[in-house]
Amino acid sequence: MRLTPTFLRSAVAATLLVGLLGGCHWFKKDSELYKDEVAARPLEVPPDLDKPATDAAMKMPPTASAAAPSAPVAGAGATPLGFTVPGERDAVFTKVGDALGGIAGVTIASRAQILGTYDVDFEGSKFLVRVTKTDAGVYVSAVDPRGLPASGEAPVKLMASLKTALGG
């Protein structure tokens, strides 16, 4: 029998086919854990994922109730932009609305009692007057739409007028 290239290719292909199909049992897992149904097999968790992350990116920022401001919040230039008034939040919210209505030059664009905010225009500045419940009473402050202390002269003047009107 003569060895032709076609015969050699066929022989190599047959040998590879038998080797691949017959050798699959070499890679078979013999562990008892993997012989069960797929749903009953144990979950493999990488070692670094079995504990909660402790890096700074995973920490929650302090909440308003945990960091209840009892002192005035300092805004730009260390000017106080808030004060505390004794009483309940809803009652103080109504008093703030009445006081804002009595201050010349104040325009209330909108009010949201659920959120405890008044959207006001005063001396060309637009900002929010926020009323929040704290442990010491109710905190009235001027903030920008992002929730940061409002900057400028208008919020400072309005907070001083509100503090006088509410007795804070």
The stretch 118-137 carries a mean pLDDT of 92
Specify the pLDDT at position 33: 59
CATH 3.30.310.170 given to domain 76-166? yes
- The residues spanned by each domain of the chain are 5-58, 76-166
Identify which of 24-28, 40-44, 75-79, 151-155 has the greatest average pLDDT: 151-155
pLDDT tens-digit readout, 22-68: 665 666 666 665 666 777 766 776 777 666 666 666 666 676 555 45
- Check if the beta carbon of residue 99 is closer than 8 Å to that of residue 165: yes
